[in-house]
């Protein structure tokens, strides 16, 4: 027997769980917030090195405010994006493969699609 048991016990704490869309939204906010804080650290550091700290604030306070602003903004946008993506995946329509024009079983699926551009003078000549 190894260091870990074969089966870990299930922990049921009795806490309510979030719906799947809320879990995805929370994960999007965490990922966006962490990425935004990294970008805010870089941007705030460059701003402080170029122009000094904000009036009445120190170096760390200025960089921290940049990190908080960028983290909140990117976290907000990524949480909404992951919510929309979760909704999109939930409401997709599954088409049968045999009716799809782009399926691998279709003979025309391997042919290239050619769209010819016509100039306005060609359109007038063809309509006459």
pLDDT tens-place string over residues 16-55: 777 888 888 999 999 999 999 999 999 999 999 999 988 8
Question: Is 1 a domain residue?
Answer: no
Q: Domain for residue 118, yes or no?
A: no
- Say which range, 66-70, 71-75, 88-92, has the weakest mean pLDDT: 88-92
Distance CA(127)–CA(57), nearest Å, equals 72
Asked if pLDDT for residue 89 goes beyond 60, the answer is no
* Model pLDDT, residue 14: 72
Question: Does residue 65 lie within any of the structural domains?
Answer: yes
What pLDDT score does 61 carry? 93
Query: Is residue 114 pLDDT above 60, yes or no?
Result: yes
Length of the chain: 128
Domain-located, residue 58 = yes
Quote the domain boundaries for residue 56.
Answer: 20-89
Rounded Cα distance between 122 and 56, Å, is 69
pLDDT at position 93 is: 57
Tokens of 4: 């870990």
Q: What is the mean pLDDT of the chain?
A: 78
Q: For residue 119, is it within any domain? A: no
Secondary structure of residue 49 in the 3-state scheme: helix
Residue 38 lies in a domain: yes
| Rounded distance between C-alpha atoms, residue 74 and residue 29, angstroms | 8
CA 36 to chain centroid, in Å, comes to 13
What are the DSSP calls for 63-89, one per residue? HHHHHHHHHHHHHHHHHHHHHHHHHHH
Least confident of 7-11, 25-29, 32-36, 106-110: 106-110
- When divided into structural domains, the chain yields a total of 1
């Amino acid at each position: 027997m190894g260091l870990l048991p074969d089966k870990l016990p299930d922990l049921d704490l009795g806490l309510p769980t979030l719906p799947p869309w809320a879990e995805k939204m929370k994960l999007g906010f965490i990922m966006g917030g962490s990425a935004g804080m990294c970008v805010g650290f870089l941007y705030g550091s460059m701003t402080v090195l170029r122009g000094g700290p904000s009036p009445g604030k120190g170096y760390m306070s200025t960089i921290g405010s940049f990190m908080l602003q960028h983290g909140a903004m990117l976290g907000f946008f990524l949480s909404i994006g992951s919510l929309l993506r979760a909704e999109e995946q939930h409401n997709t329509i599954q088409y049968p493969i045999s009716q799809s024009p782009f399926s691998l079983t279709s003979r025309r699926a391997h042919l290239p699609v050619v769209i010819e551009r016509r100039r306005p003078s060609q359109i007038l000549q063809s309509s006459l």
